[in-house]
Amino acid sequence: MKKYAVIGNPVHHSLSPMIHAQFAEQFGLSISYEKILSPLGGFAKDSMDFIVSGGLGFNITLPYKVNAYEFCSKLTLNAEVAGAVNTIKVERNEIIGDNTDGIGLVNDFKNNLQQSFEGKEVLIIGAGGATQGILKPILDCNPEKILLANRTKEKSLKLSQKFSKYGKVCGFGLNQIKAKSVDIVINATSASLDGKMPEITGGVAQGAFCYDLMYGVETPFMKWAKENSASKVSDGLGMLVEQAASSFTFWHSKTPDTKEVIKLIRAKVD
């Protein structure tokens, strides 16, 4: 049986084992897929231990996507541009890193939510590894501009400069978000995992499509969006399944169907 896993901290909430089991069933593949809780500072050791034990690939979740980037011996273009890795495969003694977050997000918007980034003003909250993974794929969809807000202003400025060659990106601090509404607001922080909501003005959400990269019945960000008159609110469950589908293709060279899996996982979450 081929061994796969997801590594992160926390990781208990991960639905990836269930999703990949459904994908494998579509093709009659026999795989195992486990959750590995890696203590802070332990990512490289835990990853290597899994590889030595026969692991052929694994997903990486918060907070290790940048660590995973540094861990790889080879990178796909998506991972190289993002500077973050969420999927690793082991092939011919090479550790190859990819980033499927961005294509997962774009596919969820396009195929499941009937939303477009083209010509839109997009506010992304957070400037960590998750944001690094989604920036270029969103910019490839030709938005009017991306506003990148982070608690540490310097981090969002640095990231906006790095990606400015792909489109218009402006970086600033959370406290500089204006009350003026935008078209799309994306929460790319881990605040929802902690049951918190970043302190930002509610005016920015009025009439906007608000999307949380985290998933759950109602995350703090989703609650905030509804309270501030968002036009539509979604969690990131569709993105989770879509990025997993891209990971599955990266490992197995097979493209799974996602629609029924999203329905199944949604029923479990709700």
Residues in the chain: 270
Residue appearing with tokens 């690793």? 88
Helices 16-27 + 259-269 axis angle, to 10: 150
How far is C-alpha 89 from the geometric centre of its chain's CA atoms?
18
**Phi and psi angles of residue 213, each rounded to the nearest 5 degrees, phi first:** -65, -25
Q: Spot the catalytic one: 65, 89, 120, 136.
A: 65
Whether 254 is a known active-site residue: answer: no
Residue appearing with tokens 């918190």? 196
Contacts of 237 (CB under 8 A, 6+ apart): 15, 215, 262, 265, 266, 269
Instruction: Tell me how far apart the alpha carbons of residues 236 and 264 are, in angstroms, rounded to a whole number.
Output: 15
DSSP string, 40-71: TT-HHHHHHHHHHTTEEEEEE-TT-HHHHHHH
- Burial of 173 from C-beta contacts in 10 A (0-12 / 13-18 / 19+): middle
Which are the catalytic amino acids?
Answer: 65
